[in-house]
Structure 1
Amino acid sequence: MSVNTSRLFLFAAMLATFGIYWTGLNGPFIFDDAQGLDIVRAWHEGTASWREAVFGDASLLFARPIPMASFLLTTWLGDSVTSFPFKLGNLVLHVACGYLVWCIARRAISHDRELRTVAPTLAALAATLWLLHPLHVSTVLYAVQRMAQLSTLFALLAVLTYLIAREQLEAGRIRRACAHLFVTLPLMVVAGLLSKQNAAVAPLLCLVLELAYFARGRMPRPVAGFFALFLGLPALGAAALLTFAPMRLLGGYDDWDFTLGQRLLTQARALMDYVGMLLIPRGPRMGLYTDDFAVSTGLFSPATTAVCIAALLAISITACLVRRRAPTFFAGWFFFLAAHAVESTFLPIEMYYEHRNYLPSVGLLMALVGLWALVPRDLPTNVLGRTQLGALAGGGFALVLCVATFGRVLIWKDENTIIEQGLRFHPQSLRVNFHAGDRAIKHGQFDVHRQLMTRLVAGPDPRNREMARLDLIYANCLSGTGGNQELLRLAAAERLPRITVLETYAFHRLSTAIRDKGCGDLTQVGLADGLREIIDAATLQPEQSQPKGVTRYVVSQIYASAGLWPQAREQVDLAWRGGGDKRAGAFLVQTLIETGRQSEASRLLAELDSRIDKDELAAQKALAALRAQLVTTRREAAPALPAARVEQ
């Protein structure tokens, strides 16, 4: 297959991708879409500035301004209410990434001595398999995963730039090569980092390609300098951070139920599960409800942990042994591992998400086509030749992927089908049970909600039991059913040593429900006391942890709603001192005003004013209201000068 024929084949795959995904573009917003796009809607309605929407309140290191800016553009071109323009934008990005996969594979495989004559064909096949793979449905049709897509787009551009620069070096065009290595490529990496931080793996991916295709002696000086500057120095910085300030990277483990060692063990199983899903897609088991992925607590607990570690080592050793004969297999396999280096190693984040394979899957599919180099040329066949068998296998796999992807797209057309499939194949997922419970409450089906939560209460997981009881209280608050004091007592009796992000969600909506509608035999003070007991039981978690601070903030609001301002001040003060959250700081100002501590309130208000940017419109409005309240309180307290002096 010539390059032009290969390109035509790729364009046909792109059209097929558009056709398959088109029916799912009107699917629902889900999960983090609401949180991620709320600020975009606020900008569209004029209640937030563009800087607030693009940069948020995070530092530039953790902000994701490029995808947020793209969401503003989508809203400006379309609207912020319907999902179609957001998902269409994601589909366009998916096809663009597919084209880059073809460009990279074609250039890379052309340096493979065994496969260079069929490089265009194998590149078209790898890109087609990537475009049509059902594992990517939950990235393309999940609006906020544009962050992962843009990060992948810029990482692929960086890798392509490296291949171009490397070819220019071999052709003796040193200046152009250096311009690409030290200007263009770093700009692509920075753009990727401003989309999502896992684009940091791009220089490591370039090293993989260097070792696979170009390592034939001493590394050229520009290449050595590039890796020293953009891979060696960051690695030394990360090592120094882990050595001298490990909590900067590992402090997040206080927010989860697993340790660093358990995460590393579990990721071996996760990686092999990703490999299985990419090579043998199991559509019904795919999806977003993977929070039931079991944690490995030891090398043989479960036993598959050791098996998966052994499998990863065996494949890696094999790839090294056949590197000279099958460099594309070597490149693809280690591309897959390197691309997982951020999200599937030591960072304290959730165990398993299939969208983490959006970039790594490029490598695994390249490894798959790279195996062609190991197929004997004189393979004995009865009817079909070696080339015909390869075409039949590749075309058959592509057809299977088309059918599987279309099936997943049909599931993603409707939130109900997404939830029902999750309940069927992930019955112990807390996330899917909560989503199904919310759906039942929305339709007034409180008996269905009770059945779902009762099943979790009967399960072995103490956190699931606690969360299910809290959600039963929430449903009872809405339906006017009693028995909530006992449910809260039983939830607190679990005495979990840590509070996770999951609880903060439950606590927040429970506090909202009890303020709005009451909760039968459970009063606001009773709820606040119960949640405080849950917080105090989390002894393995420092006050600086985000979930603990958020929970104290919620409890302080409940106390304030009940008129108990001293208790509210105590809790929000702990939240503010622990994490320095500006929202907690603003509420602390209010509690100080309400408890007669105007001078402290004034000092804290000045501190917040210096920390909150002028473009944060909502926060500035809140500060203005607090200033007005403080002025009014001082004016009312003006005649009582002796009392004010005593306070100071």
Structure 2
Amino acid sequence: MRVRLLLLAAMLVTVAIYWPGLTGPFVLDDNATFGALHGWLAGKASWQEVVPGNASWLYARPVSMLSFMLSGWLGGDTPFAYKFGNLIVHLICGLLGWQVLRRALARDERLAPHAELIAGLLAALWLLHPLHASTVLYAVQRMAQLSTLFVLASLWTYLHARRQLADGRSRSAIALLFLLCPLLMLAALLSKQNGAVAPALCLVLELAYFGRPRPKPALAFFGLFLALPLLGAAALLTLAPERLLDGYAEWDFSLVQRLLTQARVLADYLGTLLLPYAPRMGLYTDDFATSTGLLSPPSTLLCLALLAAISLAAIALRKRAPSLFAGWFFFLVAHSVESSFLPIEMYYEHRNYLPSIGILLAVAGLGALVPRRAAPAQGPNRLALAAVAGLAAVLAFATLGRALVWRHYDTIVMQALKFHPDSMRAHLDLSTLALLGGNYDESERLLSHLAKSPTPRNRLMANLNLITTQCLRNGKAERALLQRALADAQPQLTIFESQTLMQMAKIAGKGCGEVSLLDMAQTTEKLLDAAHAQPEHLRSKWVTRAIAAEFYARARRWQQAEAQAALAWRPGADFAVGEMLVRLYVQNNKLPEAERTYASLQAQTRPYDGIGQKYLRELRKAIDDRRRRGAAPRAPEAAANPGP
């Protein structure tokens, strides 16, 4: 009963400290992810458009999107509704974490007598830890939360099934192992793809807490749900590596560099979990330096050695301290999707939402190494409980501080810039906030500072954004900024360049003084030329091609616009790219090409896509109208501008 009261108190404190941050704004990926959802809530989109999110059904996260639909339907289309839902999921995850920990610790001989109390204390510390603020208060990260929720539910189910196998109740255990557990794992996977770690985490618990011989149902479980998927992934990596590794062409680091850097990332995560410093935490961690070799920086080798040493020690102490082994490898395995070979960003706090449970378990497992004569006979002494209570209070206070920061977007970014002064994203977002507030001087100051960065991409982004800022300020921009931007053209285009150029296209209706629409089009094309070795099918590449086409079209350079749009239109490109290409073909009297592209658009547009069907009708009318009018002669294009 006292443990349940402890958990109830921890949950109430959790609600209280997070409450100020629930009214905070949408940030970063929120609006992009919720675009179709906003339309559905406004009655302008169907549920079929919402559930896959912004991905194809193959990479969709339908469980998460359905939960967002429920939040929006119940609470309205406001940040509070989604963040309050996140807080509820956080509390449920805390309860599930407690159940998993108490079942695991019950199988640790030294810790079993106090398993329930220790598990309750660990769950309370997990609920209050400030590292989770950027998961709970970042609306879209419910995906990480729901994945964690279903992974924990599957682990709880697995531990229950293993106990039944040990007790000889094979029939009910088999139902849990081969029916309920896989369904929960599938739900985790459909919430976010890193839910794929669930079977491997079951194996960690098996190796830590259950001895040989392994029962046949358990072996069959791992063969079916762990070995087979791993073989499939290995086959895909061998036969079609581009399916998993192509994304490296959109980043400034290679596969080897990412793997080396992740040693430092994991060590940093570990330090932040054990010694949290809340002001340093946040969303803007793009300044985390890439490791280019074992000694570049030297901490790379040190971190690899540290991780290896802890792993070897945990293996050596597995029988004496099974919870140390279980917790440490829980941490590593739970990071195995997002800290491995996949071409994704280096560092994000929310990736610790599930792995942090392992670190807490490992810390508790150290208790098994305390000599028996030194351990209290009647359970944890008052001094130890007081220390844990003090730690919980410190964590709660730190999390409250983070929640207060999360009430406003500008405070989130300003604190990030204070502790991550080299973050390109923080500079750009803070300058955008200043721009939206009409503070043009501050926006230009921030961008001018970023333009002096030693990193070429930072300078490129700063100069492109300065054009937009100056254009918005007085309709004029310095032509020299284009030259400076081109001087830092990169061999890889990223989503950052395409987003910046897209913003420029929105602002620059008819050009920006010295900088004409044709200048912008030609600059964009030259940035594309600099990235000539980058595959054309990558999103950042075809999106930038489409922006170049839009600039050319607005400058009435129809042939050049068509050429860029034709390069952008490929499998995976957005409907808008195909729509633009059809209109350009019609403009250039290429009706057969317009018909072919229209047919492709028609084939990929679902019947329930109301907006897509509306645009198809408009395109059909444009083609038919041009056919009825006949091939009218095109107006000659203006003389070529030499461009920047």
TM range, smaller chain? over 0.9
Q: Which residue of 2 is the match for residue 643 of structure 1?
A: none
Give 1:24-103 correspondences, 5 Å limit: 24-56=21-53, 58-80=55-77, 82-103=78-99
Q: Which residue of 2 is the match for residue 527 of structure 1?
A: 520
Instruction: Report the secondary structure of 2:51's partner residue.
Output: helix
Deviation at 1:481, TM superposition (A): 6.2
Deviation at 1:480, TM superposition (A): 2.2
- Aligned mates of 2:579, 2:476 — CA distance in 1: 35
- Aligned mates of 1:154, 1:444 — CA distance in 2: 45
Deviation at 1:540, TM superposition (A): 3.3
Instruction: Report the secondary structure of 2:57's partner residue.
Output: coil
- Aligned mates of 1:58, 1:501 — CA distance in 2: 16
Instruction: Give deviations 1:557-588, integer Å, cap 9, x for gaps.
Output: 11111111111110011111475443322221
Query: More deviation in 531-540 or 569-578?
Result: 569-578
- Aligned mates of 1:458, 1:608 — CA distance in 2: 44
- Aligned mates of 2:54, 2:595 — CA distance in 1: 23
- Aligned mates of 2:198, 2:46 — CA distance in 1: 33
Give 1:417-496 correspondences, 5 Å limit: 417-480=411-474, 482-496=476-490
Deviation at 1:482, TM superposition (A): 4.5
- Aligned mates of 1:128, 1:503 — CA distance in 2: 43
Instruction: Report the secondary structure of 1:127's partner residue.
Output: helix
Instruction: Report the secondary structure of 2:614's partner residue.
Output: helix
Task: Select which of 612, 620, 624 maps to 1:627.
Answer: 620
Deviation at 1:377, TM superposition (A): 3.3
Unaligned runs of 5+ in 2: 634-644
- Aligned mates of 2:21, 2:389 — CA distance in 1: 24
Deviation at 1:60, TM superposition (A): 2.5
Please say if residues 140 and 146 of structure 1, whose CA atoms lie closer than 8 Å, have aligned partners that are also in contact: yes
Deviation at 1:102, TM superposition (A): 0.4
Q: Which residue of 2 is the match for residue 199 of structure 1?
A: 195
Q: Which residue of 1 is the match for residue 180 of structure 2?
A: 184
1:279 equivalenced with 2:274 (yes/no): yes
Instruction: Give deviations 1:21-53, integer Å, cap 9, x for gaps.
Output: 112111111111111122111111111111101
- Aligned mates of 1:194, 1:84 — CA distance in 2: 24
Deviation at 1:386, TM superposition (A): 6.4
- Aligned mates of 1:526, 1:35 — CA distance in 2: 29
Please say if residues 98 and 131 of structure 1, whose CA atoms lie closer than 8 Å, have aligned partners that are also in contact: yes
Counterpart of 2:559, as a letter, is P
Q: Which residue of 1 is the match for residue 641 of structure 2?
A: none
Counterpart of 1:110, as a letter, is A
Identical-residue share of aligned pairs (%): 51
1:126 equivalenced with 2:122 (yes/no): yes
- Aligned mates of 1:578, 1:108 — CA distance in 2: 48
Deviation at 1:57, TM superposition (A): 6.0
- Aligned mates of 2:326, 2:332 — CA distance in 1: 10
Please say if residues 379 and 386 of structure 1, whose CA atoms lie closer than 8 Å, have aligned partners that are also in contact: no
1:585 equivalenced with 2:582 (yes/no): no
Give 1:237-276 correspondences, 5 Å limit: 237-276=232-271
Task: Select which of 557, 561, 586 maps to 1:568.
Answer: 561
Q: Which residue of 1 is the match for residue 318 of structure 2?
A: 323
Please say if residues 543 and 579 of structure 1, whose CA atoms lie closer than 8 Å, have aligned partners that are also in contact: no
Task: Select which of 588, 592, 596 maps to 1:595.
Answer: 588
Deviation at 1:68, TM superposition (A): 1.2
Q: Which residue of 1 is the match for residue 213 of structure 2?
A: 218
Q: 1:443 to 1:524 in 2, by over 3 A?
A: same
Q: Which residue of 2 is the match for residue 292 of structure 1?
A: 287
Counterpart of 2:135, as a letter, is T
- Aligned mates of 2:278, 2:408 — CA distance in 1: 16
Instruction: Report the secondary structure of 1:195's partner residue.
Output: coil
Instruction: Report the secondary structure of 1:628's partner residue.
Output: helix
Deviation at 1:387, TM superposition (A): 2.6
1:509 equivalenced with 2:506 (yes/no): no
Q: 1:510 to 1:639 in 2, by over 3 A?
A: closer
Counterpart of 2:550, as a letter, is Q
Counterpart of 1:28, as a letter, is P
Q: Which residue of 2 is the match for residue 552 of structure 1?
A: 545
Deviation at 1:133, TM superposition (A): 0.2
TM-score normalised by the chain length of structure 2: 0.96
Deviation at 1:611, TM superposition (A): 1.5
Q: Which residue of 1 is the match for residue 609 of structure 2?
A: 616
- Aligned mates of 1:222, 1:257 — CA distance in 2: 46
Counterpart of 1:102, as a letter, is W
Deviation at 1:107, TM superposition (A): 0.4
Q: Which residue of 2 is the match for residue 646 of structure 1?
A: none
Deviation at 1:6, TM superposition (A): 1.5
Please say if residues 115 and 373 of structure 1, whose CA atoms lie closer than 8 Å, have aligned partners that are also in contact: yes
Please say if residues 102 and 119 of structure 2, whose CA atoms lie closer than 8 Å, have aligned partners that are also in contact: yes
Deviation at 1:208, TM superposition (A): 0.2
- Aligned mates of 1:389, 1:578 — CA distance in 2: 64
Instruction: Report the secondary structure of 1:23's partner residue.
Output: helix
- Aligned mates of 1:57, 1:474 — CA distance in 2: 27
Q: 1:617 to 1:415 in 2, by over 3 A?
A: same
Query: More deviation in 417-426 or 368-377?
Result: 368-377
Q: Report the count of equivalent residues.
A: 632
- Aligned mates of 2:217, 2:325 — CA distance in 1: 24
- Aligned mates of 1:415, 1:539 — CA distance in 2: 37
Instruction: Give deviations 1:444-482, integer Å, cap 9, x for gaps.
Output: 211111111111111110000000000100101101264
Query: More deviation in 585-594 or 153-162?
Result: 585-594
Q: 1:316 to 1:365 in 2, by over 3 A?
A: same
Please say if residues 545 and 579 of structure 1, whose CA atoms lie closer than 8 Å, have aligned partners that are also in contact: no
- Aligned mates of 2:283, 2:589 — CA distance in 1: 49
Instruction: Give deviations 1:582-628, integer Å, cap 9, x for gaps.
Output: 33222211111111111111122112211121122222211111111
Q: Which residue of 1 is the match for residue 169 of structure 2?
A: 173
